[in-house]
Chain A
Amino acid sequence: KAGVTQTPRYLIKTRGQQVTLSCSPISGHRSVSWYQQTPGQGLQFLFEYFSETQRNKGNFPGRFSGRQFSNSRSEMNVSTLELGDSALYLCASSPGQALKGYTFGSGTRLTVV
C-alpha cells in the first residue's frame, strides 16, 4: 500500500517568488492536512481539507493557501516567499475521522534565499 507522497522533496526559491507543493494521500483517504516544521517553532498546523473543503485552518498569513482535488490530492501554495518560510512542509492523510491517527509523508524541504 503506497504511503503519502509529497513532491518535490527539495526546493530552493528566491524571496518574492511563489511555490506550489503537492501531496498525494493514501488511496481511500479523504482528509489531507498540512504542517510547517521549523527549528524555532516546531511543528505547526497550516490547514486541513476533507472532500475538497477546508475544514480547519491554522494561524498563518493569507500568503499560505491550499486546495484539494476530487481525487483527494492536495496542493499548498505560498506566495511572496519570505526567508522565514524556509521549512520542512509535511502533509498528512487520514480516512476522515483519524481514529487511527494520521499518516505523514516525508515532507518537502523548502529553502528561500
Chain B
Amino acid sequence: DAKTTQPTSMDCAEGRAANLPCNHSTISGNEYVYWYRQIHSQGPQYIIHGLKNNETNEMASLIITEDRKSSTLILPHATLRDTAVYYCIVRANQGGKLIFGQGTELSVKP
C-alpha cells in the first residue's frame, strides 16, 4: 500500500502558485520524498525529491516539514500544461519499486 495521502483533486488558476500537499506520517529516517506527475496518456515524469531539507529545481519547489510527516510541492507559476496527476511517493534510496497512490489530479484553469 502507498505510504502517502494526497487530496484527490485540486484546481489552480493559470499564473498562480499551485501548492500540492502530501501526508507521509509513517516515513522512515532513510526514506526520501519523491514527486512525479503524469500527463494524460504519457508515462510519469520525475519532478523533484528530498530527504529533510527544502529543495528547488527548474520545475518546482519541495517543502518538507521539520518532523518530515508531510510535504508540499509548489509549482510557482502554474500553466495549462501543468494539468496532470501528481504523485507523492516515499522510498528508501537504494533502488527498488515505486509505490504509487492515487495521486492528486491538478487542473490548471485559464
Contacts and interface: CB of A to CB of B under 8 A. Distances in A.
A45 B97 CA distance: 6
Interface residues of B, number: 21
A72 B94 CA distance: 19
Chain A binding surface, main DSSP class: strand
Contacts of A94: 95
Interface in A33-77: 33, 35, 42-45, 48, 50, 55-56, 58
B95 A97 contact: yes
A43 B97 contact: no
A45 B95 contact: no
A101 B95 CA distance: 9
Interface of A: 4, 31, 33, 35, 42-45, 48, 50, 55-56, 58, 90, 92, 94, 96-107
